[in-house]
Amino acid sequence: MRILYCTDTYLPQINGVSIVTALSVAGLRDRGWEVRIIGPAYPSAGAASRPEQTGPAGIAYRGIRSLPLPIYSDVRIALPDSRAVEQEMREFRPDIVHCATEFIVGQLAMRAASRLGIPVVTSYHTNFGQYATAYGLPVIRTTVERYIRAFHERAVATLTPSDVSRQHLTALGLDRAHRWGCGVDPVRFHPRNRSNVLRESLGLGTAFTLLYVGRLAPEKQVETVVRSYISARKLLPPGTLRLVIAGTGPREAGLRRLAPSDTLFLGHLDR
């Protein structure tokens, strides 16, 4: 079975979509599938940081010409090179095209697959309507959701990371959404990797620890985590519950003001 993954973001750029895509293609490769990826080129990355090196081994990556996003230079926006996308499909002849994102690469792939008669599966990772509201643009939420619906209704199936995401698509009128949970690496995330030395170095001791890892941005609603922590610690003996927050972002200053003084902020951490 051959599958072509088409995405607007991939390693070395670090975000939820790029990481889940890398995990997914590695899993399919290990099951014996032939997998290729097409996405933005990352010319500014050193040779050791190119997608072929930072992503799973043995998976070819075709980079489309791209430009840096002005406010985030590490984010690359693919140029609308429909010829490159269709050429890749004609050469690879995939049985399935998987559009992991809804934007330039996703749209180009959707159109090329339609012309070539290849079935398309899509992923729905991000509630962009909620993003619009979180960033003070609720007026465009309806337009954004119409676009999301129009994109995904062209697929034979749409995969969502949770039941909440699936229900959101159902509410938009899509009836081919299915939950496909994000996988967890059982080798890296295993109880045997627990480190009491690390816990002691962070001053956690034997306290029951709540951990948030991710960007500190409006759409993540980390304030809900902090408020829940504030409520929970009132019910327990002092020092028996701790909150650790790893990551940075525009909400960090506000979260530091909101969180109790025993909350541990670790800042940016390399994977």
* pLDDT over threshold 80, residue 53: no
Closest CA to 147 of 160, 162, 132, 166: 132
- Could you tell me if 61 and 55 are in contact, meaning their C-beta atoms sit under 8 angstroms apart? yes
Query: What average pLDDT is seen over the chain?
Result: 91
Identify the residue with better confidence: 61 or 217: 61
8-state DSSP, 165: H
> Where does the pLDDT of residue 203 fall: very low under 50, low under 70, confident under 90, or very high at 90 and above?
very high
Where along the chain do its domains lie? 2-179, 194-267
Q: Report whether CATH 3.40.50.2000 matches the domain 194-267.
A: yes
* pLDDT over threshold 90, residue 25: yes
- Could you tell me if 223 and 253 are in contact, meaning their C-beta atoms sit under 8 angstroms apart? no
Q: Which two tokens stand for residue 264?
A: 């541990």
Looking at residue 128, its pLDDT comes to: 80
Q: What is the pLDDT of residues 230-265, one digit of tens each?
A: 999 999 999 999 999 999 988 999 999 999 999 999
Please give the torsion angle defined by the CA atoms of residues 115, 62, 41 and 24, in that order, rounded to the nearest 10 degrees: 90
CATH superfamily label, 2-179? Glycogen Phosphorylase B; (3.40.50.2000)
> Where does the pLDDT of residue 81 fall: very low under 50, low under 70, confident under 90, or very high at 90 and above?
very high
Count other C-beta atoms under 10 Å from residue 253's C-beta. Answer: 10
Looking at residue 46, its pLDDT comes to: 57
Cis peptide before 12, with omega less than 30 degrees from 0? yes
- Could you tell me if 183 and 23 are in contact, meaning their C-beta atoms sit under 8 angstroms apart? yes
Q: Which of 122-131, 146-155, 160-169, 205-214 has the lowest mean pLDDT?
A: 122-131
> Where does the pLDDT of residue 149 fall: very low under 50, low under 70, confident under 90, or very high at 90 and above?
very high
Give the angle 38-39-43 at the CA atoms, nearest 5°. 120
8-state DSSP, 181: P
**pTM of the predicted protein model:** 0.84
